[in-house]
A and B are shown apart, each in its own frame.
Chain A
Amino acid sequence: MNREEHDQLILHTALTAGRIMLENGSEIERVEDTMIRIAKNAGVEGSQVFVTITGILMALNGELGAQIEPIKKRIFDLEKVSVVNDLSRQFAVKKISLQQFANRLDHLDSETKYFPFWLQLFAAALVSGPLEVVFRHNLPDFWITCVIGMLGWWVYYVLNKFIQIRFLSEFAASATIGILALVGVHYGLGNSVDDIIIGGVMPLVPGVPLTNSVRDVLAGNLVSGPARGIEALVSAAAIGFGIAMVLQFL
């Protein structure tokens, strides 16, 4: 492999690693760090990266020009962030070669190792119910909150598959939760609409953008941090509108 091909492989590997991490919810500083590390471990010192939330730019100190990788989607799959991190560590201690690293990354996109759907539903129930008890100390409404939180997550998940606009799915899910809470209390299955809704929307909380936004701003990424803050804010607003719409009928 001549020099140029080697550089091209380094760029490809680093850019793919960066793209996968950003798409699945990593913070900017980690992406920059990982990409520079990959170049360094492959034998190139002084590479330059420019990472924002919608695209990555990387240049090596060689004949090759800088290359761009756009980030088109954003989902929450922290498992993949962790896998890329592991691969980068293995590459650093020379357990895998650069070519193997690149191949593994190319395959990583297609192999999704999500938890099974029933377990996600169960988890949504276990976020809703316990947090309702923790926040509101309302034990009798535990079961109905579990069920409603689970149904809300089901609506969110199914809509996300078909329309792929997260804010709309969040809006529809929270409206569903509101309606179900009203109906549940009306038929005597629960005592407090407020408590059921508070617990039920907890699985929809935009935890990843919230945390990353704070971390990005603190690390000095003044473009990506606020952008993620907007993402979290729009999610929160979508959930709020869904609830507010239902509460008009109180």
Chain B
Amino acid sequence: MTITEFLIESIGTYTATVAFGILVNIPRKALNTGGLIGLLGYLIYRFTVLGGGGYVVGNLLGAMAIGVASLQFARMKRMPMILFNIPALVPLVPGGQAYQMIKNFALGQNTVAFTYLIQVIMIAGSIAFGFLLSELVNRVQQRFWQQRR
């Protein structure tokens, strides 16, 4: 990945996340933060994949970062957490694989389609599991704060 590609991908991810926030009518104050969290999640995913970690681990770490970062900003800005993690999740959606699956099913190439179906299921599962892990981090942090008081 060259520097230009990296810049284009980063700007694209940020723009798309903010724009999706507008489509689900997120308060103006939360748009920029949502975009930054989306960018963070996507970059973690991208670098994990580039470093040879595979797309499952990449999505898991990306989703986990989104979950943890959303809660931090939700606490800081006193806003509901879903305002940040719904748009931030959009760049991780397996759009390409889902499309290839549909296309191959439509064209009758079921073997290829099933390969993509399994990829879609794996990605969706790893995103869900990433959220679970982020919840774990958040609960541990809450417990820690309560004990310090």
Contact = CB atoms under 8 A, between A and B. Distances in A.
Contacts of B105: 244
Interface stretch (A41-49, A77-85, A100-108): A77-85
Interface stretch (A4-12, A52-60, A131-139, A161-169): A131-139
B4 to A, nearest CB: 10
B26 A79 contact: yes
A218 B18 CA distance: 26
A215 B135 CA distance: 9
Most buried by B among A134, A153, A205, A208: A134
Given A26-B80, A131-B91, A124 B23 contact: yes
Contacts of A85: 79-80
Contacts of A236: 98
Given A207-B20, A244-B105, A127 B90 contact: yes
Interface stretch (B50-58, B81-89, B141-149): B81-89
Contact of B11 (A130, A210, A248): A130
B79 to A, nearest CB: 6
A119 B18 CA distance: 12
A87 B15 CA distance: 30
A244 B102 contact: yes
A207 B82 CA distance: 10
Contact of A214 (B23, B98, B102, B131): B131
Contacts of A205: 20, 90, 93, 95
A136 B79 contact: no
Interface in A110-138: 113-115, 119-120, 122-127, 129-131, 133-137
B122 interface: no
Contacts of B22: 115, 119-120, 123
Main secondary structure of the interface of B (DSSP, over half): helix
A241 B57 CA distance: 30
Given A82-B27, A82-B30, A134-B13, A127 B20 contact: yes
Contacts of B8: 133-134, 139
Given A26-B80, A131-B95, A202-B93, A250 B107 contact: yes
A119 B19 CA distance: 9
A15 interface: no
Given A197-B99, A244-B102, A134 B12 contact: yes
Interface string B86-114: 11011101011011101101110000000
Contact of A78 (B27, B99, B106, B135): B27
B16 A134 contact: yes
A139 B9 CA distance: 11
A236 B42 CA distance: 22
A25 interface: yes
Given A82-B83, A214-B127, 10 more contacts: A27-B82, A79-B27, A82-B27, A85-B80, A115-B22, A120-B23, A127-B16, A202-B90, A207-B20, A214-B131
Task: Enumerate the 3 nearest inter-chain pairs by beta-carbon distance, A residue then B residue, closest first.
Answer: A130-B12, A126-B19, A123-B22
